[in-house]
Amino acid sequence: MQSSNPLNGSFDEGEFSNQNRESSQIVSSVNQQRLPNKIHFFKFDQRIVTFYHVDTKTRSRELLHVDFNIPIRFCSIQTNDGRIFITGGAKNSSQSSNHAYELVDSSLRQLADMFYTREGHCLAAIGSEFIYAIGSRLYNTSKTCEVYSIGRN
């Protein structure tokens, strides 16, 4: 059954539901907890975060209470306990960032900076204690992996 995807394009709802259910069962049995059932995305150069609620197949948007726009080429991740983080990016072609933030009550709380500036990188989280910042489009950090401790920052 083809259904319209609220985010973009279309997807096979039956196939998606079965894959999602299988993944959730595996992850949930390992962690013994229910994972947050929403997906987020930030829009660069704006102050908006959008959530897609998987259970209800609805979207909601929040205006961020910050005095800057989301940088270009940033990366964000949601940990198993539902916390959302955003790292790196750039204000323009010559100002890369090593900043890290946590989304808290429609605001971005600045955390300790990462060691390296990163743009166009990937993030991975294992559990809710560490975030791994992997690679970058910047030459000096393109082949690096930084372990960022959430608890210490």
End-to-end Cα distance, the chain: 46
Q: Which helix (H) or strand (E) holds 21?
A: helix 13-31
Q: What is the pLDDT of residues 34-87, one digit of tens each?
A: 665 889 999 888 999 999 999 899 999 999 999 998 988 999 999 988 899 999
If you search the block for the tokens 């197949």, which residue do you land on? 57
The model's pTM: 0.73
Spell 33-43 as b/e; 16+ CB within 10 A means b.
eeebebebebe
Q: Looking at residue 4, what is its pLDDT?
A: 42
Tokens representing 134 are 């992997």
